[in-house]
Amino acid sequence: MKKSLEDVSNPHRQYVFIVGPTASGKSAVALPLAQKLSAPIINTDSIQIYKDINIGSAKPSYAEMKLHPHYLFDFVDLNTTYTAADYVTSVQDLLWKENFDKALFVGGSGFYIQALQKGMFPNVKTPLEVKTELEAWIDREGFQSLWDWLKQVDPTAANKLSPNDHYRVRRAVEIMKTQDLTLTQLREEVATGKYAPLPPHQRLNLGLRADKDQLRERVRVRTQKMLDLGFVGEVEHLIQEGYEHSSALQSVGYKEVQMFLGGEIAKQDLFERIVTSTMQLIKKQMTWFSRDPSIEWFELGCEQELIERAMTWSKGTSS
């Protein structure tokens, strides 16, 4: 496991995050802020990481990316399984390699952002002796005994599992025996940020949002632009290339276009279906972000105030 980035020698390293729902204007404010901060833009969008999906992902254009350093865009093959843990590793490798004094993270994938800021449940490898111990225990006393032990030692974790889910029950006991902590205690440690790759005192979370009507209108304009730019043709080409089962092509917009190409959606209904699905995604994103009290929110139209807040924080942190 890599060290926390807090161990890097420069105590004034700065990480600014611009978060918010789809179509809230994050990308538009990112470039001028990044230029003022002299900081690279690092992607936190779980779809924009993929190669070959450009129109429907609203990925920055190649021309835009040439104006200023952009990282972790357009680098994962569509048939590759790429997890939040992989993303954290990519960010850690990038920051260790480039040794940036500052970085601007931009995107709306809450799970990626949470993984960076709070860490993830540790990937515990079970020693052979623990596996052998549990096998002997089950052979001797039966699986029910394992379940009874879990209920007694960590009832909170047990209540979230089914006694019939032998794999997860056994895995829970393996972790507890290996870590010498209950699952509940481990989850509490994760919640404190103990496993966070980015130290909290070096982060600033800024959010962009708008009311529902504003966002819906922006989504409608954005969706029409995507269709005018050839969104359907992009998806058709990707299907021909064998990517129809890629998880990225199950994302909002791509899924609806695939359904249209498969005859499940009429042409006249495609636009509204994409808009509706995008608005549903926005609702989920805002529910996720609303749980994070560290985010300082700015309304659409207040981008300059957001930039000024970031610059003030950066100057104060580096002084």
CA angle 92, 94, 96 (to 5 degrees): 65
| pLDDT at site 319 | 54
**Same structural domain for residues 17 and 108?**
yes
pLDDT at 8 over 90: no
Question: Do the beta carbons of residue 36 and residue 306 sit within 8 Å?
Answer: no
DSSP class of 298 = E
CA distances from 109 to 3, 146, 205, 282, 288 (A): 24, 38, 14, 11, 9
Q: Is the pLDDT of residue 9 over 80?
A: no
Q: Are residues 158 and 306 in the same domain?
A: no
Q: Is residue 39 located within the same domain as residue 187?
A: no
Residue 2 lies in a domain: no
Say if residue 160 is in the same domain as residue 233.
no
Can you give the residue range of the structural domain that contains 162?
Answer: 128-191
In the predicted model, what is the mean pLDDT of residues 167-172? 93
Q: What is the pTM of this model?
A: 0.82
Reported as a single tens digit per residue, the pLDDT across 211-235 is: 999 999 999 999 999 999 999 999 9
Residue 26 contacts residue 108 (beta carbons within 8 Å): yes
Lowest mean pLDDT among 40-44, 121-125, 253-257: 121-125
Does residue 1 lie in a domain region? no
Mean pLDDT value across residues 117-138: 88
- Co-location of 228 and 312 in the same domain: yes
What is the Cα–Cα distance from 148 to 30, expressed in whole angstroms?
A: 53
- What mean pLDDT, rounded, does the chain reach? 92
We report the CATH number of the domain holding residue 277 as: 3.40.50.300
- In the three-class reduction of DSSP (H, G, I as helix; E, B as strand; rest coil), residue 71 is classed as strand
The pLDDT of residue 1 is: 41
- Among 8-22, 176-190, 238-252, the minimum mean pLDDT is found in 8-22
Beta strands in 121-264 (DSSP E): 203-209
Looking at residue 166, its pLDDT comes to: 93
Is 115 in the same domain as 147?
no
Mean predicted confidence (pLDDT) in 287-306: 96
Contacts of 313 (CB under 8 A, 6+ apart): 14, 16, 204
pLDDT at 3: 47
At residue 10 the predicted structure's pLDDT band, cuts being 50, 70 and 90, is low
CATH number of the domain residue 159 falls in: 1.10.20.140
- Give the pLDDT confidence of 36-73 residue by residue, as tens digits: 999 999 999 999 999 999 999 999 988 989 999 999 99
Residue 12: predicted pLDDT: 73
Q: Could you tell me if residue 212 is inside a domain?
A: yes
